[in-house]
Structure 1
Amino acid sequence: MSVVAYLGLGSNQGHRAENLRQAIQKLNEQPGIRVLRASAVYETEPFGYVEQEAFLNMAVAIETALSPEQLLDAALSVERVLGRVRTIRWGPRTIDIDLLLYGTSSVSLEHLVIPHPGLSERAFVLVPLRDIWEGDALPGYSQTIDHYLSLLAEDHKGVREWGAINWEIGSDPFGS
């Protein structure tokens, strides 16, 4: 049985766009994961720990046969391959991959919570997610993405469209 899941990706170290492109490719290469759609890329100011460079953020929709925990393990494996080192909470990173939604499931484990905590309060996650979302109300929430963005009107202005990444192998990665 497969499920459509949504992942949030972010990078603010090195070649940010290339980090995102490689992360999508590596996710798509994982057994049990097929990338369906990718959002535009948005540049945003850092969240939490603000003494760092701006992020490029995006979201991808995937089809997966993996369980939520297996999907988390696959995402963490891709982060490690791309040089992610966890030192400061919300600190600089080559790549960050967050499991935002997993079908209509809710998961509450010590190391994994779905829907992602704070999803409805982060414009830098909601704006890219809106690009690829195929539904009405978010699972685990009672409202639509647009409703939550309307509550974040000021934060929403800090999410600037940067461009797009063509992650498919053999394509021009930055559409030039």
Structure 2
Amino acid sequence: MTDIFVALGSNLGDRCAHLRFALDSMAELPGVRLRQTSAFHATAPVGGPSQPTFLNAVARLETHWSPWELLARLQRLEWRRGRRRLAANGPRTLDLDLLHHGCVQARGPWLTLPHPRMESRRFVLAPLAELAPDLPLASGRTVSQSLEALPPA
């Protein structure tokens, strides 16, 4: 089993219910074990059109699936919860981003691992730091070091 981290976000409808749906659904996927979940964090949207506040979290999973297999299943969960990709950085019912998948490094049109922008996003690093503060990132810093290096919110 491979240790992975998934970021969760929602800023439309019942945000808490959308995140709970995602966590429950990931835990029910065959071959996946939900190990830990961060607290839910209310955060301002970054980029895109004017939109409501987000609720964000990070989940730690174990799975034997490849990153591409897991990504396909995560996108199906987004779709089931009403996610439609109409505008870049637009509002969404559910957003599930694969942040880290063990030692896998990938660069492609559908998936880049580790997630290329996670070190600049407080809404990812703060919940991730609850679960894995010493996880090394692509920059060579840990999650907690990267979080401390961000400008104040």
**Structure 1 CA distance for aligned equivalents of residues 110 and 143 of structure 2:** 25
Residue 149 of structure 2 is matched in structure 1 by: 151
Aligned residue identity for 1:143: R
Residue 82 of structure 2 is matched in structure 1 by: 83
The gaps in structure 2 that reach 5 residues or longer are none
Residue 51 of structure 1 is matched in structure 2 by: 50
Helix, strand or coil: the match of 1:58? strand
TM-score by length of 2: 0.95
**Structure 1 CA distance for aligned equivalents of residues 146 and 111 of structure 2:** 22
Shift of 1:27: 1.1
**Structure 1 CA distance for aligned equivalents of residues 62 and 28 of structure 2:** 12
Residue 92 of structure 1 is matched in structure 2 by: 91
Q: CA RMSD in A?
A: 1.2
Helix, strand or coil: the match of 1:153? coil
**Structure 1 CA distance for aligned equivalents of residues 108 and 101 of structure 2:** 14
Change (3 A) 1:136 1:87: closer
Q: How many residues align?
A: 153
Matched, 1:29 2:32: no
1:105-127 alpha-carbon deviations (Å, 9 max, x no partner): 21112110000111111111000
Residue 127 of structure 2 is matched in structure 1 by: 128
1:18-60 alpha-carbon deviations (Å, 9 max, x no partner): 1000011111111221110000110000011150000000000
Answer yes or no: is the 8 Å Cα contact 2:134–2:143 preserved in 1: no
Change (3 A) 1:21 1:144: same
Helix, strand or coil: the match of 1:14? coil
Question: Identity of counterpart residues, as a percentage?
Answer: 36
Report runs of 4+ in structure 1 exceeding 3 Å deviation.
none
Answer yes or no: is the 8 Å Cα contact 2:125–2:147 preserved in 1: yes
Matched, 1:65 2:37: no
Shift of 1:153: 2.8
Shift of 1:87: 0.5
Shift of 1:134: 6.2
The gaps in structure 1 that reach 5 residues or longer are 158-176
Residue 10 of structure 1 is matched in structure 2 by: 9
1:80-108 alpha-carbon deviations (Å, 9 max, x no partner): 11111110111110000000000122111
